[in-house]
Amino acid sequence: MKSLIARGVRSTAPRHPLARAIIHRLLLAVILLWGVSLLIFAAVNALPGDFAAASLGRAATPEAIASIRQSLGLDKPLVTRYLLWMLQIFKGDFGLSWASQQPVSAQLGHRLLNSLWLAGAAALLAIPVALLGGLFAVRYLHRLPDRVITLVSLIILSLPEFLIGYLLIQVLVLHVGVSTFPSTIYDGMSLPDRLSALLLPVLTLAIAVLANMLRSARSALMSVTSTPWMETARLKGLPPLRILWRHAAPNAISPVLTVIAMNLAGLIVGAMIIEVIFVYPGVGQYMVDAVTVRDIPVVQACGLVFAAVYILLNLLVDMLAMAANPRLRFPR
């Protein structure tokens, strides 16, 4: 299939290369999502023991198991069950939580928004710092500032999120008193309260992802500043600001997108852990609680939502990169 597309691109000059590339990339994302749904469905249905028996726990009499099996549709063949499950999900119905007997979707939407706030704010904080740090490192490449930045990011990379979080609690809550712990968020909260609750988790996540971001920013920017045309711009005596603005910045868009793309996984995983540390009501905390009590419908839903968010964000970044860099529009 790959070679077919490549041949198509080469022989008949495509009229809409961007549209073609976007469709190609969209298809890939759809296939991935489908694969993930299969994977999660398979994992849950390969459960040693029975879904029904597991949901009942100690109250599992044969009659109760039979009636649960029927109400959950477990007596139907596997393929039918998968299709029914997918159909429900497309309707926005993730089933009932075993623990609370409440619909999962009611909790999920709310918490997803909270999680995205956390990850988004942390990214907004960390990305500019990482880029500035990366620029600084590249400007003094292989000299002391660069070595210090590299060493510091290696050290931060080695810290578990909870150590960063607890150090911040120690400083900001116990000594300075600017923030609150735990970071409970609820509707109708006043803005200053909300900000003070968000400060710790956002700052922790930003620091946790900063290390890896610095590393990727450094190598991405290195590839821009070491190009011949940057050399030319410098040699013909252009003012540094003009070089930065007219020559480096437009070409740095795709490295910057690369930095974001390479750190999406870190942001999402980091957010999950940090929600647990700060008792922040996001999807990550929901999922971890559900795994602890083996609330399978919630685990399934959270896993699927996290995977979907991750795949869609990756898709978005790739699309932006294609728009910024024409070379990427031709799939190899």
Residue ranges that bind another protein, judged by CB under 8 A:
32, 35-36, 39-40, 43-44, 46-48, 142, 147, 151, 154-155, 157-163, 166-167, 169-170, 173-174, 181, 265, 268-269, 272-273, 276, 287-288, 290-292, 294, 296, 299-300, 302-303, 306-307, 310-311, 314
Task: For another protein, give the closer residue by CB, 221 or 305.
Answer: 305
Task: For another protein, give the closer residue by CB, 194 or 294.
Answer: 294
Pinpoint the alpha helices (H) of the chain.
2-11, 17-45, 51-56, 62-72, 78-90, 104-139, 144-157, 161-168, 191-225, 228-235, 240-242, 249-278, 283-293, 296-324
Which DSSP string do the residues of 304-324 spell out, in sequence order? HHHHHHHHHHHHHHHHHHHHH
Task: For another protein, give the closer residue by CB, 74 or 244.
Answer: 74
Task: For another protein, give the closer residue by CB, 36 or 328.
Answer: 36
The CB-of-249 to another protein minimum distance in angstroms stands at: 30
CB burial of 22-55 (b: ≥16 within 10 Å; e: otherwise) equals beebeeebeebbeebbeebbeeeeeeeeebbbeb
The CB-of-181 to another protein minimum distance in angstroms stands at: 7
Q: What are phi and psi of 290, to 5 degrees?
A: -65, -40
Rounded-to-integer distance, Cα 134 and Cα 213, Å: 9
Q: Tokens 């459960």 — which residue?
A: 47
Task: For another protein, give the closer residue by CB, 233 or 274.
Answer: 274
CB burial of 229-261 (b: ≥16 within 10 Å; e: otherwise) equals ebeebeeeeeeeeebbeebbeebbebbbbbbbb
The CB-of-211 to another protein minimum distance in angstroms stands at: 11
Task: For another protein, give the closer residue by CB, 124 or 163.
Answer: 163
Which DSSP string do the residues of 30-85 spell out, in sequence order? HHHHHHHHHHHHHHHHT-SS-HHHHHHGGG--HHHHHHHHHHHTTTS-HHHHHHHH
The CB-of-155 to another protein minimum distance in angstroms stands at: 6
The CB-of-228 to another protein minimum distance in angstroms stands at: 21
The CB-of-225 to another protein minimum distance in angstroms stands at: 20
Amino acid, res. 142: H
The CB-of-299 to another protein minimum distance in angstroms stands at: 4
Task: For another protein, give the closer residue by CB, 18 or 43.
Answer: 43
Pinpoint the alpha helices (H) of 140-179.
144-157, 161-168
Task: For another protein, give the closer residue by CB, 94 or 243.
Answer: 94
The CB-of-302 to another protein minimum distance in angstroms stands at: 8
